Amino acid sequence: MFVRFTKGDVTSYGVLNGDNIKKIQGDLFTGDYKITEETLQRKEVRLLAPCKPSKVICVGLNYKDHAKEVELPLPKAPLLFLKPPTSVVGPNNEVYYPEQSGQVDYEAELAIVIGKEAKNISEENANDYILGYTCANDVTARDIQFGDGQWTRGKSFDTFCPIGPGIVKEVDLENAKVELYVDGENKQRSTLDQLIFKVPHLVSYISQHMTLMPGDIILTGTPHGIGPVEKGSTMTVKVEGIGELANKLV
Ligand code: MN
């Protein structure tokens, strides 16, 4: 798994294997890099969000089980919205409960990490533009989202987009489990076969509307079981084949 981390003042990419991180030299996104023998311990570094997106594109209502839960018809095309890059934080970063809201919800999601600039690409070629996958939590001030009727404000607070812990190249896009836990208690559990619009279709469709840049992130939607979380609780997203992303709400 590729991770981005800091030690002291230095930010680097590396490959995490068990408790060891091997530093990477070069650019993960161009493919022009090499894995060095310089090894650090997981506990001596701080993991960061694994990339710095120019934008975070989100897909609403993209799980069959979630559409059923909220009693909405299946969308005919992907329903898109954006979160600003300022909402992005990394693993174990705190998420701040905004004073404007009385209901903050978790949303466990599979995130696609774009590897290279993508415009008007086909579904068949989509995979060439994907660097890999990570876990995401589409934290949402639900009262504001529905009160406004327009989703931007409720989805955009600083810290409302935890991603991580790292980027894996391959995920089982049919069978991988997507789960969310609050203080260890399971709240969401589904599999990627519940996705209405699949990963290649999403990348192609979004690239017809806006140019995707290296490091951009696509949040693929959340399964059934959404719900509120209280201050002091820790939300943990687990995507099978990637790992765990834990963030405390404060
Ligand atoms: Mn979402």
53: three-class secondary structure by DSSP: coil
Integer Rg of the chain from CA: 17
Residue 192 Cα to ligand 1 middle (Å): 14
**DSSP output for 87-132:** GEE-TT--B---TT-S-EEE-EEEEEEE-S-BSS--TTTGGGGEEE
pLDDT tens by residue, 174-209:
999 999 999 999 999 999 999 999 999 999 999 999
Tell me, in angstroms, the distance from the centre of ligand 1 to residue 60's CA: 5
Centroid of ligand 1 to alpha carbon of 116 (angstroms): 24
SS3 of residue 140 by DSSP:
strand
Tell me what pLDDT residue 78 has.
97
Fold of domain 56-248: Fumarylacetoacetate hydrolase; domain 2 (3.90.850)
Residue 107 alpha carbon to ligand 1 centre in Å:
6
Question: Ligand 1 centroid to 7 CA: how many Å?
Answer: 32
Cα three-residue angle 215-229-216, rounded to 5 degrees: 5
**How far does residue 32's CA lie from ligand 1's centre (Å)?**
33
For residue 163, how far is its CA from the centre of ligand 1 (angstroms)? Answer: 13
Domain ranges of the chain: 2-47, 56-248
AA letter at 216: D
Checking if the pLDDT of 70 tops 90, the result is no
SS3 content of the chain, % helix, strand, coil (to 5): 15, 45, 40
CB 68 within 8 A of CB 226: no
CA of 85 to the centre of ligand 1 (A): 15
pTM over cut 0.95: yes
Burial of 35 (0-12, 13-18, 19+ CB in 10 A): middle
Residue 54 — pLDDT band, cuts 50, 70, 90? very high
* Residues 128-178 pLDDT 10s: 999 999 999 999 999 999 999 999 999 999 999 999 999 999 999 999 999
The closest of 78, 107, 108 to 210, measured between CA atoms, is 78
